[in-house]
């Protein structure tokens, strides 16, 4: 097959930009990292906008959804050929191409903190593997798509066009014929043209894929099922240095899949953002950085959000409702996270809640129950899914079990927007396993 990959963002040479840096946010994130879903409260989120997408900017954590979650999806959403065993088989195939490993030797101190706190409280925890390759010295390199599958595809004859934005799909008499695009050349010149294709596969993510379909005239059953993992963060201070430069690999799984407790990027800029409502945030993040680390509590929420492409606007409107029950679960997660961090030796906990007091003991945590409300909670997420969904029931979704769009021959979706609900874990492994399953289905029909 003659394959062309079209990407709106730039090709960023692997290793040329420090991970989780301001430079990476400027080059590789949509809106330079400042996207938000409107709601009460709003939820900040991040999307990759570069060749390789969000695999270039995420932590590479490789988690499989709980078996009961996958079985529930297949049953509730009428999805063919979706079982834990099927997903595990496809994930195993991907792992032959994309190295997935746990950290050789001891994990960073900021990660071990979570396991230590869980052990002290008798809770379950686990160390997640990552899509990383390690050399003989234990130095890791993230195996993003620009390092792995895209170079392999190009070696087999695929072509990649970066800096090329798809403005709309070309649909004619119930069939996809290609796409209208705008290419930005190195000299800044913009060229409008069309690309013809027998098959069009949209893989622009849970926000941009439904927006593209809507701009192309496909609105029914598109964009109304958006799911996130709403997240609250805490900055923890420790008496000793905790090596916070990497994203923690450990997760507390005692309350999964409804509630996840883990660690975030903790470079000075991330710490300063988490301390934004404190006047001394910048100085604290700079002067005491190696003693600080950022952790989070994330939930599977009650109600879906929505993505809407609006006439005349390039960016879609994203909205997300946070229910009272969601806020209650987030507060419970924040308190449980606080218990674990104090049990692990933290001497101060600063929640990302405006005006909330710091906690230095378990007794202080009860103040957080009243502090978290819609006005003061700073919610964020990096996990977005389900804005199209897949189902054999045409009343539930425009996409069938394998991402084929009903009523438009030759058009498929194959990204995180197909997941029927938030998985409760880092979604990369799930998204890639389903994408591999769907690609095999596409090839079998050609």
Nearest to 37 by CA among 232, 319, 228, 231: 319
- A 10 A CB-CB count for 76 gives 12
Cα 290 from Cα 284, distance rounded (Å):
10
- The catalytically annotated residue of 250, 270, 383, 436 is 383
Our answer to whether residue 383 is catalytic in this structure is: yes
Q: Where are the alpha helices (DSSP H) in 79-160?
A: 84-95, 109-121, 149-155
Cα 383 from Cα 229, distance rounded (Å):
6
Residues 176, 178, 182, 183: what is their CA dihedral angle, to the nearest 10 degrees? 150
Count H helices and E strands in the chain, helices first.
11, 22
- Distance linking the first and last C-alpha atoms of the chain: 10
Cα 106 from Cα 112, distance rounded (Å):
9
Handedness of CA 325, 231, 262, 143 (dihedral sign): positive
Catalogue the active-site residues: 383
């Amino acid at each position: 097959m003659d394959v062309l990959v079209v990407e709106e963002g730039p090709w960023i040479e692997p290793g040329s930009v420090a991970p989780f840096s301001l430079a990476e946010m400027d080059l590789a994130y949509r809106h330079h990292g400042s996207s938000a879903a409107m709601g009460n409260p709003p939820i900040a989120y991040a999307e990759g906008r570069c060749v390789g997408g969000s695999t270039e900017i995420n932590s590479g954590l490789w988690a499989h959804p709980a078996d009961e979650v996958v079985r529930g999806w297949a049953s509730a959403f009428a999805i063919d050929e979706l079982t834990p065993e099927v997903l595990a088989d496809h994930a195993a195939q991907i792992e032959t191409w994309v190295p997935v490993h746990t950290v050789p030797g001891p994990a960073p101190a900021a990660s071990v903190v979570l396991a230590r706190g869980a052990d002290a409280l008798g809770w379950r925890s686990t160390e997640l593997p990552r899509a990383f390759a390690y050399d003989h010295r234990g130095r890791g390199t993230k195996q993003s798509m620009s390092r792995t599958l895209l170079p392999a595809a190009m070696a087999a004859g695929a072509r990649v066009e970066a800096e090329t934005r798809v403005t709309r799909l070309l649909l004619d008499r119930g069939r996809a014929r290609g796409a209208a695009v705008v290419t930005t050349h190195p000299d800044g010149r913009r060229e409008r043209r069309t690309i013809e294709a027998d098959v069009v596969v949209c893989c622009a993510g849970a926000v941009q894929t439904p927006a593209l379909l809507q701009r192309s005239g496909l609105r029914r059953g598109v964009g109304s099922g958006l799911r996130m993992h709403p997240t609250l963060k805490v900055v923890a201070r420790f008496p000793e240095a905790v090596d916070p430069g990497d994203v923690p690999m450990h997760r507390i799984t005692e309350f999964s899949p409804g509630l996840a407790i883990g660690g975030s990027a903790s470079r000075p800029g991330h710490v300063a953002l988490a301390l934004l409502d404190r006047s001394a945030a910048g100085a604290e993040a700079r002067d005491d950085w190696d003693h600080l680390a950022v952790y989070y509590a994330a939930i599977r929420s009650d109600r879906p959000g929505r993505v809407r492409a609006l006439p005349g606007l390039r960016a879609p409107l994203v909205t997300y409702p946070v229910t009272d029950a969601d806020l209650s679960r987030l507060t419970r997660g924040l308190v449980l996270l606080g218990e674990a961090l104090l049990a692990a030796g933290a001497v101060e906990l600063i929640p990302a809640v405006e005006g909330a007091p710091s906690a230095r003991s378990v007794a202080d945590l009860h103040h957080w129950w009243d502090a978290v409300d819609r006005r003061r909670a700073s919610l964020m997420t990096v996990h977005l899914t389900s804005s199209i969904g897949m189902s054999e029931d045409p009343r539930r979704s425009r996409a069938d079990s394998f991402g084929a769009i009903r009523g438009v021959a030759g058009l498929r979706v194959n990204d995180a927007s197909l997941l029927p609900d938030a998985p409760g874990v880092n979604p990369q492994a799930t998204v890639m396993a389903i994408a591999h399953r769907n690609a095999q289905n596409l090839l079998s029909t050609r």
